[in-house]
Structure 1
């Protein structure tokens, strides 16, 4: 096996193991927090934590099951029987099983002196699906849980040790999922260099810096009006769902399951940007950023009108200043990344990055993950030659 291929396989194996570990630690922290809330007599908080966990897990199992049923026949050679697989998903273990299956396949390929073509392609296929599911889990469960914990801490005026554990693991999990998803998108593209440490750090930072002010604004509003935040979320979510529907998404195997995808994307858009259609997305991204910024300012203004000081005695201007600085710094880093660090894209259908890019061209006929390839085409617009790239510039792939 070539040394470059072995290094890529080892890197992917380590990152996959770390991603699974972060998921398990975050899940354990949430269950721990729910138990502490119940023991402390705050059963409504415990019920809300468990409800968020349950809804997110059900959505993940739905995506995993639908994708498995839509995959080409004979692709998953080592899967258990249909009934056993259905039982795993019914018991909410489908996503974890996929993570373990991906690690097992990656380890098996890495150990082979000369790995087979199918094993290499299959390892890449599993890794891409896991990255997508991890991103969905992040915004369906981890980000709402983080907002809830911050709101509880603001409302009570203090944060317990288990809440700090939840906050830290949530931030790590969110950042990891965003970076891993971006790496997965790049692995679907032709002639793309591996995301380097500098580019990874800036991509990691601008996502965190833009997410933090949004989470803070929603948490502030939730702490002040805990009974109205659900109405606020549902109202904005309906608008975002309509926006996603109008863009004509075609991601899932059938029209009915497509609504599960649209519902999930609308939830992601409540917190962060997610591109769902092809073409240069700069205009849509600017509209989305302006929309979320306006809503966040409105939420914070509502807080200012009804409560000038946080319960813990910390002056609100300090929090607002920190959120504003994070937002503008995040925007600046985002522009820097896409202007100078985001590589150009010239689509060549027979070439992709990741493991398969290190193989001869005849391997391009192996099954590949069309779901992630479609999203990659949405994120990285197709260009026509170097002349078009030079004219349009790297920033055409922005946002």
Structure 2
């Protein structure tokens, strides 16, 4: 049963609050861990945690600032003066400012009995940017932090309470960001309905189950060869960066900033699938899955040949079968999702959930987030064909 438009709007606001809270909790867990490492004299671990946090934050602020500069003039009015916005980004607060701005706009739209077309479009515009930034933060900071944390636990042979908190919040935050990003993509396309509750749960689970084996394989290698993991990452990252470049991405406002985007996408591909090109995605997704699986198997084989190097108190022999089961289960859930639970499988092609239910055909004349719309067309290969077909009524010149 589809949600009413107001219920969908309220759910969007709740998800926005949840995403912001998850970001702050994960940030607090990282700072807590860094502080504990300093207190225990593990200065290298603390430096690595803070370095990953700082690099990801700088990249996030750059994306946010470049997008603001590229947006149409007057779109975000009223806004703080340009110098204040620049200062917020220099202080690494640009992403949080966007989260607050998005929540304010979402609440404004939800309180209105009949929200205007512009308010609806602007709320989606902000939400889409926040979702993309959250995904970047997840794979530039949260996922590497989780890998580092697992490697530290494997090396030390025990896990402290703050480390368990970091592991749990990281896994949930990563899967949440993937789900939120996929859900946000669909709001770019009026022909695509939003994910239902059952589809969202399965999508969340298969991302979580497929991510765990990859992160564990890299963490095992990091625990064994802490001096070589950077070379491993750099080698694969360069290959993936070349692959992204070959696909001819055109996401950022200029060619220089486009390389920042490509570098970020290559980092995401090191851990998970991310589509950036138009056309059928099944072949590319399969190639990427086989590539990551092969690399993970090689990392695990390397660990098996040096198993004596790790503390004997950790039941690592149990982790490998469990990870294998998680991978197979995640792959099965992924197939189930795309076969039976994907929104395209619904027999309601003309029914649209969420804020689109409040919109008229005038939506094309409103401000649209063309950055995310371009990615949505790449993610959903049938959109271009559907968009090329005349809409009902438009063929006769009727709006």
Q: TM-score, normalised by structure 1?
A: 0.92
Q: What is residue 177 of structure 1 aligned with on the other side?
A: 177
Q: Which runs of 5+ in 1 are unaligned?
A: 346-350, 389-399
Correspondences of 1:36-75 after superposition (within 5 Å): 36-75=36-75
Q: What is residue 230 of structure 1 aligned with on the other side?
A: 230
How far the C-alpha of 1:180 sits from its partner, in A, is: 0.4
Correspondences of 1:336-351 after superposition (within 5 Å): 336-344=336-344
CA distance in 2 between counterparts of 1:185 and 1:336 reads 20
Local SS of the residue matching 1:355: helix
How far the C-alpha of 1:343 sits from its partner, in A, is: 2.9
CA distance in 1 between counterparts of 2:190 and 2:292 reads 33
Correspondences of 1:15-30 after superposition (within 5 Å): 15-30=15-30
Correspondences of 1:293-372 after superposition (within 5 Å): 293-308=293-308, 310-344=310-344, 354-372=354-372
Local SS of the residue matching 1:245: helix
Local SS of the residue matching 2:189: coil
Is the contact between residue 9 and residue 354 of structure 2 (CA under 8 Å) also seen in structure 1?
no
Does residue 208 of structure 2 align to residue 208 of structure 1? yes
CA distance in 1 between counterparts of 2:318 and 2:227 reads 26
How far the C-alpha of 1:112 sits from its partner, in A, is: 2.3
Q: Deviations over 1:189-230 (max 9, x none)?
A: 233222111111111111111100000000000011111101
Is the contact between residue 158 and residue 312 of structure 1 (CA under 8 Å) also seen in structure 2?
no
Q: What is residue 218 of structure 2 aligned with on the other side?
A: 218
Deviates further, 193-202 or 248-257: 193-202
CA distance in 2 between counterparts of 1:147 and 1:223 reads 10
CA distance in 2 between counterparts of 1:360 and 1:242 reads 42
Correspondences of 1:90-101 after superposition (within 5 Å): 90-101=90-101
Correspondences of 1:131-170 after superposition (within 5 Å): 131-170=131-170
Is the contact between residue 13 and residue 106 of structure 2 (CA under 8 Å) also seen in structure 1?
yes
Q: What is residue 282 of structure 1 aligned with on the other side?
A: 282
How far the C-alpha of 1:309 sits from its partner, in A, is: 7.5
Tell me which of the two structures has the higher relative contact order, counting C-alpha pairs closer than 8 angstroms and 6 or more residues apart. Answer: 2
Local SS of the residue matching 1:294: helix
CA distance in 2 between counterparts of 1:196 and 1:354 reads 11
How far the C-alpha of 1:344 sits from its partner, in A, is: 2.8
CA distance in 1 between counterparts of 2:192 and 2:378 reads 16
Is the contact between residue 8 and residue 355 of structure 1 (CA under 8 Å) also seen in structure 2?
yes
Q: What is residue 391 of structure 1 aligned with on the other side?
A: none
Deviates further, 234-243 or 6-15: 6-15
Is the contact between residue 154 and residue 312 of structure 1 (CA under 8 Å) also seen in structure 2?
no
CA distance in 2 between counterparts of 1:260 and 1:361 reads 36
Q: What is residue 86 of structure 1 aligned with on the other side?
A: 86
Q: What is residue 115 of structure 1 aligned with on the other side?
A: 115
Local SS of the residue matching 1:123: helix
Does residue 376 of structure 2 align to residue 376 of structure 1? yes
CA distance in 2 between counterparts of 1:307 and 1:64 reads 44
Q: Deviations over 1:220-274 (max 9, x none)?
A: 0001111110111001000000000011000000100000000000000000000
Is the contact between residue 157 and residue 311 of structure 1 (CA under 8 Å) also seen in structure 2?
yes
CA distance in 2 between counterparts of 1:210 and 1:175 reads 10
Q: What is residue 268 of structure 1 aligned with on the other side?
A: 268
Q: What is residue 10 of structure 2 aligned with on the other side?
A: 10
Is the contact between residue 189 and residue 352 of structure 1 (CA under 8 Å) also seen in structure 2?
no
Is the contact between residue 139 and residue 268 of structure 1 (CA under 8 Å) also seen in structure 2?
yes
Local SS of the residue matching 1:278: coil
Is the contact between residue 9 and residue 110 of structure 1 (CA under 8 Å) also seen in structure 2?
yes
Q: TM-score, normalised by structure 2?
A: 0.92
Q: What is residue 394 of structure 1 aligned with on the other side?
A: none
How far the C-alpha of 1:364 sits from its partner, in A, is: 3.1
Q: Structure 2 vs 1, CA of residues 159 and 312 (structure 1 numbering), >3 Å: closer, same or farther?
A: farther
Aligned residues: 380
Q: Which runs of 5+ in 2 are unaligned?
A: 346-350, 390-399
Q: What is residue 245 of structure 2 aligned with on the other side?
A: 245
Q: Structure 2 vs 1, CA of residues 190 and 118 (structure 1 numbering), >3 Å: closer, same or farther?
A: closer
CA distance in 2 between counterparts of 1:105 and 1:319 reads 45
Local SS of the residue matching 1:191: coil
Q: Deviations over 1:165-195 (max 9, x none)?
A: 1111111111110110011011112332221
